Amino acid sequence: MSFSVLAAAKEAPVTLALVGEGGSWTYAQLATRVRREAAALGRHLGNGWVRLTAAAELPFVVRLLALWELDATPVLLHPRWSREERRRAAATVPEAVDLEGLSPVGKGDEAAACPPLPGQRPMAVLFTSGSSAAPKAVALSRRAFAAAAAASARRLGWREGDRWLLALPPAHVGGLSILTRCLAARRTVVLAPSQDPGELLEVMTRERVSLASLVPAQLHRLLAARPGLAPATLRAVLVGGGPCPPELLAEGRRRGWPLLPTYGLTEACSQVATVAPGEEPVGCGRPLEGVEVRTLGGEILVRGATLCDGYLSPDGVRPAVDGEGWLATGDLGELDGAGRLHVLGRRDELIVTGGENVSPAEVEAALRTCRGVAEALVVGVEDGVWGEVVGALLVPGPAGPPPGAQLAHHLEQRLAAFKRPRRLRWVDELPLTLAGKPDRLTARQLLQASFADPVNSQSG
């Protein structure tokens, strides 16, 4: 399976590869841009590891494809990260060269292609948050992306003229995998210009989108913005990235949205289990072909060719799987009698809000460094729009709590908007279990009925 746009241009030169705000490009036209970009990048790549901010825009896609032609490894950064988050990511992969200041190649004569770099490196590095404050850098190989694309294709199938909407951040595996799947199948990616639901619906209709990947919050907004039926060209919409309220799925399907609940994770190159087209949406469906799933002590374990190479650190690569090749996901779930996966929660208390992963420990650490905050306990609070929102119980210092504007400014400097608490409550002391550990269940109950947090009114 080839992830080369230059190879795709030879096989399907007039097939539409990309649609964006600035126009549309066939594989031959896209390859011309990529070849020119690759030649310009050659002298800036160092040892082949490159930090790159990922966005669903043409310049990013061209640069990403150029790096893949050069066999370089893009270390993808989220565009909404704070400066501190970017600094921590850079420290995790210190050998990566920063390309942020390098302007994209403009128009002009096509330059000669730059030869690929020697050596073996991952195809991409993506960051994911666990239960600790430090992000994990997940190394994903070409083998894993190829296996994942093939497994997805066997579950969803491809049709002539399929167009997949890219409305997820490509810094996440769910967004990046849209690019890899379509490139491997020589199909079309439609770039979303914004997250405005009206604009998304307009693009889906105008560009005849047939496939889409959404998180529950996006689906909620789209249903609210379009009271009628789904765009007629849609044939499959993956819904994942966090818990989706059953009533939201039911309403969407009632209005003709071909919703397919899915479960996946970065370490497994996106999809693990997905409801097949035409099937009743029970749980997250069956595991994809070639992906093994079992549970141990209630925890979901995954094994297969789609798994990552491991976690990167300044000290090397740490394996992600055990001696038998099983990845412990940290998610709780069960398989029913028909082999369908039901996800029940997260063992490590990871918060998933609008498809974004949030580490409670990271948010607690940021809160505790604010003058006037003595203690903090952060949990996910159930929400009908976002799946979950970040909630925080705070204990004030001796001089009392800080002004709201001060706390808001403090968090803006340290956390992306989706990580800042939306529900906030000041308490005299944090609830504890009998063992003296933070009582997250009680905290969640206290915050569930609490008011919307005035600290952060921005969208997640």
Q: Domains plus CATH for the chain?
A: 5-345 (3.40.50.12780), 351-448 (3.30.300.30)
What's the full length of the chain, in residues?
460
pLDDT at 456 over 50: no
- pTM given for the model: 0.83
Name which residue leads in pLDDT, 182 or 429. Answer: 182
Confidence of residue 437 (pLDDT cuts 50, 70, 90): low
Higher-pLDDT residue of 368 and 103 is 368
Residue spans of alpha helices (H) in 137-292: 142-156, 173-185, 197-206, 216-225, 246-254
- The 10s digit of each residue's pLDDT in 247-278 is 889 999 999 999 999 999 999 999 999 999 99
What is the chain's Cα-based Rg? 22
Does 108 have pLDDT greater than 70?
no
% the chain with pLDDT above 90: 66
Element (H, E) at 84: helix 83-92
Residue 447, pLDDT score? 93
Give 3-state DSSP helix, strand, coil % of the chain, rounded to 5: 30, 30, 40
Separation CA 419–CA 391 (nearest Å):
10
Name the residue among 258, 15, 318, 263 with its Cα closest to residue 137. 318
Pair 138, 308: CB distance under 8 Å: yes
pLDDT band at 81 (very low <50, low <70, confident <90, very high): confident
Do residues 178 and 131 lie in contact, with contact meaning Cβ atoms separated by under 8 Å? no
Q: Which two tokens stand for residue 91?
A: 């420290």
d(CA 226, CA 210): 17
Q: What is the pLDDT of residues 211-242, one digit of tens each?
A: 999 988 889 889 989 889 999 999 999 999 87
Instruction: Please state, for a pLDDT cut of 70, what percent of the chain lies above it.
Output: 91
pLDDT digits (tens, 9 = 90+) for 308-325: 999 998 788 899 999 999
Q: Give pLDDT, residue 458.
A: 40
